[in-house]
Amino acid sequence: MKGTVPATVILGAQWGDEGKGKAIDQLASRYGWAVRFQGGNNAGHTIVIGDTTLKLHQIPSGLPTPHCNLVLGDGMVIDPWVLEKELDAWNALTGEKPEGSRLFISERASIILPFHRLYDSADKVVGTTGRGIGPAYRDRIERVGIRFADIEGLLENSQSISASASRMSSQLAAIGIDHRISAQDLENDLRWILDRYGDAIAPTGHMLDIALRNGEQVLLEGAQGAMLDIDQGTYPFVTSSVTSRANASHGAGIHPGHIGPCLGVTKAYTTRVGNGPFPTEIPSEDPSGQHLAKVGHEFGTTTGRPRRTGWLDIPALMEAHRVNGFSGLVLTKLDVLAGLDEIKICIGYELDGRPITMLPVRAEDVARCIPVYETHPGFEAISEDEWLAMAQKSHEEKSWLEALPDAAASIVTRIEELSGIEVQCVGIGPDRRSTLSKPGGMFDHPLNLGNF
């Protein structure tokens, strides 16, 4: 056997929507496996290749790379109906049916059923996506959820199916939802799932362990972001899974010793979807916030909801770094700042009249934090084509930040200084090629247009 090659982890360093899909797509050509290790279809990763835009919710962002195997990992909760829509869209675009050939579903992953979506629709506090993620994770913790590995056994046991359907109906009634889950409907759903995905359901943890021990490269893809982590985020306005590096190996079904580099993805500003505290949020009537929303196309990939926009929050970024220990930063959407007269970076807060540099634990306290800003000069707006030409010239000449306008380069340098984390690449447009790559870094390789 060859020596073990560490797996690479890519995580969101904010409240999600940081541009992880693009970063993963850019790295995937150098990896044999791309693995989602947590979350469900509440995630949305967008990849732009030429005139084609892919919006993925459960399938790993290595999908456009033909040689890259794809794993929906142990730690996920998976909606089979949404997955089918993603696969059908990919098949219509490319003619490929990857399920069972290079796309595999962990037998340990949990299934999101119609019951979970109905139950989630009752949320009026947290502002969830309503996709059934939280209820599916709750069922897992209560040890009553159904995994892909459990389907065959349940189909042979009508009594267990009846008991599960009865439990679901009772729980819906308890929260005022007038909908009954019948045993026959549940059986039909499970039978369809097995028929549709039977060839793809696999012991993916063992497959990845063997791949790593044989020297294959594995990319572990996080969903949501560090500030939405169930344990370390702005609770209770968080997602239902552990989004951190510590869960990357566990959710993939491999041991922590396999984990190597860990990249944090952060925008050059900050956004948040749904409810919850957001210290650097810019009021919706402020022209700067309107600029970020419009130029950055800040609408949720999964829900289409407008994202709240704000300035880059260094204390929140350092909180993400504390939990994940980023070995490098992927800085995205620097181009969105272009056209602003001035650019702000939050370097601390005031809470009840006293200065603090750490994000408080209680959401109520985070909501009372008043940001302390540095103000930097802005830089002129240019077209997407001009940003792309800048990135391509930088790659050809093996230059780095000197390819940027001076004010833009200063923002990147200041983020490195404040965070203490080396920036590996800078996104300056939606296209996979619109990226400045640090010479000799992980992203320093040719990025082609792609072809569908």
139 within 8 A of 145, measured Cβ to Cβ: yes
Supply the CATH number for residue 169's domain: 1.10.300.10
Assign 315 a pLDDT band (cuts: 50, 70, 90).
very high
| Nearest CA-CA partner of 339 in 386, 293, 389, 288 | 288
CATH of the domain at 378: 3.90.170.10
Token digits of residue 220: 């572990």
Q: Is residue 21 included in any domain, yes or no?
A: no
Q: Where are the beta strands (DSSP E) in 69-172?
A: 69-72, 77-78, 103-106, 110-111
* Per-residue model confidence (pLDDT) at position 6: 86
pLDDT computed for residue 248 by the predictor: 97
Neighbours of 398 (CB within 10 A): 10
Tell me: the pLDDT tens digits for 159-191? 999 999 999 999 999 999 999 999 999 999 999
| Same domain assignment for residues 300 and 430 | yes
Respond yes or no: is residue 17 known to be catalytic: yes
Strand partners, 52: 49
Instruction: Please give the residue range of the domain that contains residue 187.
Output: 110-197
Which residues partner with 437 through β-bridges? 425
pLDDT for the residue 123: 72
Give the mean pLDDT of 425-438.
92
Measure CA of the first residue to CA of the last residue in the chain; give whole Å. Answer: 36
Find the catalytic residue in 17, 74, 120, 313: 17
Provide the 3-class DSSP secondary structure of residue 239: coil
Active site residue 45: yes
Asked if residues 248 and 241 have their Cβ atoms less than 8 Å apart, the reply is no
Cα separation values, 310 from 128, 273, 342, 401, Å: 20, 12, 13, 24
The rounded percent of the chain whose pLDDT value lies above 90 is: 83
Predicted pLDDT at 56? 87
**Amino acid in position 111:** I
Asked if the structure places residue 387 within a domain, the reply is yes
Domains held by the chain: number: 2
Q: Do 279 and 425 fall into the same domain?
A: yes
User: Do 183 and 308 share a domain, yes or no?
Assistant: no
Angle between helices 204-213 and 245-252 (to 10 degrees): 110
pLDDT at 1: 38
Tokens found for residue 134 = 């939280």
- The stretch 75-103 carries a mean pLDDT of 96
Instruction: Report the SS3 class of residue 318.
Output: helix
451: in domain: no
Distance separating alpha carbons of residues 187 and 161, to the nearest angstrom: 7
pLDDT value for 127: 66
| Mean pLDDT, all residues of the chain | 93
Band of the pLDDT at 305, cuts 50, 70, 90?
Answer: confident
225 occurs within a structural domain: no
The full length of the chain comes to 452
What is the pLDDT averaged over residues 135-145? 96
Domain boundary, last residue among 197, 221, 250: 197
pLDDT at 452: 47
How confident is the model at residue 300, as a pLDDT? 66
pLDDT band at residue 342 under the 50/70/90 scheme: very high
Clarify whether residues 270 and 191 are in a common domain.
no
What is the percent of the chain where pLDDT is above 70? Answer: 96
pLDDT at 44 over 70: yes
> Which letter does DSSP use for residue 131 in this model?
S
- Which residue, chain included where needed, has tokens 């590996």? 424
Lowest mean pLDDT among 4-8, 140-144, 273-277, 281-285: 4-8
Q: Would you say residue 303 has pLDDT above 70?
A: no
* pLDDT band with cut points at 50, 70 and 90 for residue 299: confident
Angle between helices 245-252 and 314-324 in degrees, nearest 10 = 50
Residue 45 confidence class, pLDDT cut points 50, 70, 90: confident
pTM given for the model: 0.92
